Amino acid sequence: MSANSSAEPKAIGPQTPVQTLMTRAVARISPDARLQEVAQKLAAMETGALAVGTTTAIIGIVSERDLTRAFGRSESPDGVRAGDIASTNLIWCSPRATAAEAARTMCEKGIRHLLVGDGELQGIVSARDLLEALLVDP
């Protein structure tokens, strides 16, 4: 996932708040969606992960990595649904967390996408979003 597309330059660095880096419009998919639909939506949205759930409740995240594993393990992927392969141990950070703090959380938890919100989903930040902020020349 990429951060919000905007023509205006951002002041970025390790202390940049995640809320300025995150993607606000989080792509979602139903837990009942088949793997083919998951793959098609990931490609169409040009994103690395989808929130699994409804507009009011997120039950998990399904990533390209989850999809690859599912296709590799199943002889009949048609019966596998997004809810079956989604990571349900959801890791969150505050929108006020810094890029460095979010990156540390991702490293500690072994994840590449981090939900952003204070009680409700406000966005998602990816490892790529954070790398762009952390690798900037001062």
* CATH number of the domain within which 75 lies: 3.10.580.10
Would the pLDDT of 138 be above 70? no
Asked if the structure places residue 13 within a domain, the reply is no
Asked if the structure places residue 8 within a domain, the reply is no
Q: How many distinct structural domains can be found in the chain?
A: 1
- DSSP summary character for residue 72: H
Q: Could you tell me where the DSSP H helices lie in 46-98?
A: 64-73, 82-85
Would the pLDDT of 81 be above 80? yes
Task: Write the CB contacts of 66 (distance below 8 Å, at least 6 apart in sequence).
Answer: 85, 86, 87
Asked if the structure places residue 128 within a domain, the reply is yes
Model confidence band, residue 3 (pLDDT cutoffs 50, 70, 90)? very low
Asked if the structure places residue 100 within a domain, the reply is yes
Q: In whole angstroms, what is the distance from residue 83 CA to residue 77 CA?
A: 13
Using a pLDDT cut of 70, give the percent of the chain over it: 88
Domain that holds residue 71: 18-134
Name the pTM for this structure: 0.82
Q: Which helix (H) or strand (E) holds 40?
A: helix 35-45
Average of per-residue pLDDT across 14-20? 93
